[in-house]
Amino acid sequence: MEFIFASGNAHKAAELAELFKGSNLSIVAAPEAIAVEETADFLYGNAEIKARAYYDKFKRPTVADDSGLFVEALPAELGVLTARFGGDSLTALQRCELLLKRMENESERSAFFMCVLCFVLSPTEIYFFEGRLNGQIGKEIVGDTGFGYDPIFYPNDLKHGPLGAQSLAQDEVFKMAHSHRARAVARARSFLTSYIARP
């Protein structure tokens, strides 16, 4: 089964397509990007809004994702607002700097990245899959590779420095195997492969 990716982000579409490689599911870029207002205050809601909008437009099975960084010490500041933390004008590096400043007097530094995938097969067949990567917020920016908050995020359960501290190639290999998005995809592959193959 082929799904269109509900986004104009070609990099994300390619990453998802790679994660589904070797399964009976394929992800392709949407024929065109459409404007979708993400009005929900939680990841599941925004993923569904995007997936439904693209399904309604193109009348084809669709997948959307929404992701965020959740920081224990700042429960109301990131999450669904992760990409807009500090205002729309900040660069990714400036967002990292701002987060470190907000955390400078915090001893509790637990955090996790979370990804929600929403698959719309039909108006009445909608499935959600969640992936998380638990970790800690560091105390300084390490390296200049990676994406978003990678240079200050240390995964808990893996022997790896902050995601942005390695070479870009190493980061990409790591993410394809262990990221929050990869973990959501693993759950989706397991369920949907069996679902689609049923008699």
Domains and their CATH numbers in the chain:
2-197 (3.90.950.10)
pTM, 2 dp: 0.89
Pull the structure tokens for residue 160: 């790896």
Contact 129, 117 (CB under 8 A): yes
**65 belongs to the catalytic site:** no
Contacts 24+ apart (CB under 8 A), 51-55: 51/6, 51/118, 51/119, 51/120, 51/126, 52/120, 52/126, 53/6, 54/4, 54/6, 54/30, 54/120, 55/6, 55/120, 55/123
Catalytic position from the list 65, 66, 150, 171: 66
Q: What's the farthest any 2 CA atoms get from each other in the chain?
A: 58
Structure tokens at 117: 């995938």
**Going residue by residue through the chain (199 aa), what tens digit of pLDDT does each one get?**
899 999 988 888 888 998 998 888 999 999 999 999 999 999 999 999 999 999 999 999 999 999 999 999 999 999 999 999 999 999 988 999 999 999 999 999 999 999 999 999 999 999 999 999 999 999 998 866 556 898 899 888 766 667 665 544 455 666 667 789 999 999 999 999 888 766 6
Q: DSSP 3-state assignment of 144?
A: coil
Q: How many CA atoms lie within 13 A of 172 on its CB side?
A: 9
